[in-house]
Structure 1
Amino acid sequence: MRHQVIPVTAFAQNCSILWCDETKEAAVVDPGGDIEKLVAFINQQQLHVKQVLLTHGHLDHVGATADVASAYNVPVIGPHQGDAFWIDNLAQQAQMFGFATPNNFTPTTWLNDGDVVEVGKQSLNVVHCPGHTPGHVVFYHQASNRAWVGDVIFAGSIGRTDFPQGNHQQLIDSICNKLWPLGNEVEFICGHGPNSTFGKERASNPLVGDRVTGRA
């Protein structure tokens, strides 16, 4: 599995394009906007987009979803149905964040904890990690020890929980009980900012590190 991170929108959201090296089949993860940047890279690499994958329903992660899905005639997979209210209210989100109103969409398939998504001959395990939003999911590629975590956790921080239906304790539990067991060596690509590993965050994250949570 190969990937390329392409920051999009004024929020510098880390959209990722994943593809199977053998088949060139690709998925676009969290296309928040700036579709022209995504299309340029896809064309450059001669990739065959087969699906859009969403970690959660916030506008900076889904704003160009309808456009990408339409351009490539592909399904929208995810997030968990707990985020349906976010996706159903894209216009209100756009007004709240100062974005242009995006085209509406409805996910083709909602995801649940334990589901598996195929990208070419590669498999992504779905981990439901509520807290930042109720329907947030993480995509974990076991073969490369890499995870796409959206806004669950960042290098040195964690996701906000002050939006509607956010839950701080639920987010902590998701990180400690769902992500840490995947292994310290797992590198994660987050929704904003640089990559890190679960091991680094367990050692030093001031909000969810082992010393803070009592796991040291």
Structure 2
Amino acid sequence: MTDTAPLKAAIIPVTPLQQNCTLIWCTKTMRGAFTDPGADLDKLKDAAAKMGVTVEKLLITHGHLDHCGQAKILADELGVPIEGPHEADRFWISRLEDDGRKWGFAGKTFEPDRWLDNGDQVTVGELTLDVYHCPGHTPGHIVFHHPESKLAIVGDVLFQGSIGRTDFPMSNHQDLIDAITQKLWPLGDETAFVPGHGPMSTFGRERQTNGFVADRILASA
């Protein structure tokens, strides 16, 4: 993205699972949001300060510990609201403290200031992002998309070369495949995405090369 791009993004891996928290911000206002601030809060706050970004909200793709375990703690420290995920992930959010004990870092349950649904929009500074409900990995998983930047924050729906796990309680493999093909692919092959773990890719690349959801793979299924 050029210096004149309306949106900028910085990926900040957090938690022992190296989950991709993303700081996105409006270059016009320098107001931003963290997506999926699972832990390592000092690291996140330092990144925002370094970029000169005023964080105005937290955006959550889904209720797993590495994505939102410490979102409530950060929201309270910054005095900002939490938006997302879809309410179907209330089950996972209710488990954050128990799951945190299992993984060895603190988790805190929360009630977001706004549950999000398919077709909703969120604002960051003067930016507007579209919300897509993409269940499968979890029932309430959502994706954030900024059309002008051709950028999506997809959490654990899709990865470079892989897709989200569906062996968790309330996961559904077919729902995940349907979400990818019916919600993400129409956003365009040129759309780049930040996955919940690992390197970025584009939807077009995954349609060609992904061993789970490439067009040729699904056509032969």
| Structure 2: segments with no counterpart, 5+ residues | 1-6
Counterpart of 1:59 in structure 2 is 65
What is the rounded CA distance, in whole Å, between the counterparts of 1:45 and 1:182 in structure 2? 29
The one-letter code sitting in structure 1 at the alignment partner of 2:217 is: V
Q: 2:162 aligns with which of 154, 157, 163?
A: 157
Counterpart of 2:150 in structure 1 is 145
What is the rounded CA distance, in whole Å, between the counterparts of 1:104 and 1:173 in structure 2? 29
Alignment deviations for residues 87-111 of structure 1 (CA, whole Å, 9 cap, x no partner): 0111222244x23232332111000
Counterpart of 2:3 in structure 1 is none
Aligned partner of residue 16 in structure 1, secondary structure: strand
Counterpart of 2:209 in structure 1 is 204
Alignment deviations for residues 131-154 of structure 1 (CA, whole Å, 9 cap, x no partner): 000000000010010000000000
Residue 77 in 1 paired to residue 77 in 2?
A: no
* CA deviation after TM superposition for structure 1 residue 45, in Å: 1.9
> For residues 122-137 of structure 1, what are the structure 2 equivalents within 5 Å?
122-137=127-142
Residue 181 in 1 paired to residue 168 in 2?
A: no
What is the rounded CA distance, in whole Å, between the counterparts of 1:45 and 1:168 in structure 2? 39
The one-letter code sitting in structure 1 at the alignment partner of 2:159 is: F
The one-letter code sitting in structure 2 at the alignment partner of 1:70 is: D
> 2:99 touches 2:107 (CA, 8 Å); kept in 1?
no
> For residues 94-133 of structure 1, what are the structure 2 equivalents within 5 Å?
94-96=100-102, 98-133=103-138
What is the rounded CA distance, in whole Å, between the counterparts of 1:99 and 1:58 in structure 2? 14
**Over aligned residue pairs, what C-alpha RMSD do you find?**
1.3
* CA deviation after TM superposition for structure 1 residue 41, in Å: 1.0
| Structure 1: segments with no counterpart, 5+ residues | none
What is the rounded CA distance, in whole Å, between the counterparts of 1:20 and 1:57 in structure 2? 26
> 2:21 touches 2:38 (CA, 8 Å); kept in 1?
yes
Percent identity over the alignment? 50
Aligned partner of residue 118 in structure 1, secondary structure: strand
> 2:70 touches 2:106 (CA, 8 Å); kept in 1?
no
Taking structure 2 as the reference length, what is the TM-score of the superposition? 0.94
Counterpart of 1:15 in structure 2 is 21
What is the rounded CA distance, in whole Å, between the counterparts of 1:31 and 1:23 in structure 2? 22
Q: Which moved more, 1:182-191 or 1:100-109?
A: 100-109
Runs of 4+ in structure 1 deviating by more than 4 angstroms, as ranges, are none
